[in-house]
Amino acid sequence: MTVLHTGRHFLQIPGPTNIPDRVLRAMDMPGMDHRSAEFAELGFAVMAASQRIFRTRQPVMIYPSSGTGAWEAAIVNTLSPGDKVLMPETGQFAVLWLGIAEKFKLDVDFLPGDWRRGADVGQIEAKLAADREHRIKAVMVIHNETSTGCVTPPLEVRKALDRTKHPALLMVDTISGLAALEYEHDAWGIDVSVGGSQKGLMLPPGLGFNAVSEKALAVAKANPSMRSRDQQGRHLALHAGDQSAVRAARSGQDARGGGAGERLRPPQAPQRRNAGGCQGVGIGNAVSGTGRAFARADRRRHAGRP
């Protein structure tokens, strides 16, 4: 059945969000050779900008996936079947993350909620204090629950971990919080931040992100589980500046968001006003010479000039 839209089709859903016109125009360009020096330059600029968005000096892994794939990457790199994790119920996406965890045979202590408020940090702290043998390997929370709008402050969960001196990893799904709410991966002591391209970043769906602490990287390195969404190897080589590894994270820079220089500059408003938004972390300065060159060529082409 063909559906005809009169006028401009404007999404009125939590995500995917509406993509700004200039982002759409920046994507209207031929593909790039993903083994070229130009693509490598572009890739490094995108990775550096991603670190500024998450407010981290740590590596940000970029996966060709939805947020679900980023969830999976967070789990398979740091946890093994049988590991115990603590997860509060704050809405439908917490339930979905529970489903992914159970598929990987994790022992999930799922704290029931009423979908009307964020996680009960006191309840989390009580569970951690009672776990004297430190069987809980991770606390997994949703920053902004897309289905309900309930917010759980990650910093408060970190404080609960610190007060109980519990070594569990703190894993945060900020898929609909990133670039829309204040977010500080390093300052808040988050071990794995899970993000996606289609919400606050105002990009097309298709990219998943993991920002990873030193502690989580060490856990991933020691983890014997088999996985393809690796947080080691080529991803770390990319952050070390190995140009030959760029193609491993190809989708982070390819036609999904082509013309990255133009794509990464945030809209003027209201995004600029967001405390954790793109402009606030300086992503507007992430434009590489390559990105600008492609954007200029794109504008000339649309203007009918060579």
Dump pLDDT digits (tens) for 191-207: 999 999 999 999 999 99
Sequence-separated (6 or more) residues with CB below 8 Å from residue 185: 54, 55, 56, 58, 193, 211, 213
Q: What is the pLDDT of residues 231-265, one digit of tens each?
A: 556 566 666 666 554 453 443 343 334 433 333 33
Residue pair 174/144 in contact (Cβ under 8 Å)? The answer is yes
Average pLDDT over residues 99-121: 96
Residue 282 in this model has a pLDDT that exceeds 60: no
- What's the rounded mean pLDDT across residues 271-281? 35
pTM of the model: 0.78
In this structure, the number of other CB atoms found within 10 A of the CB of residue 230 comes to 17
Sorted by where each starts, the structural domains of the chain and their CATH numbers stand as: 56-247 (3.40.640.10)
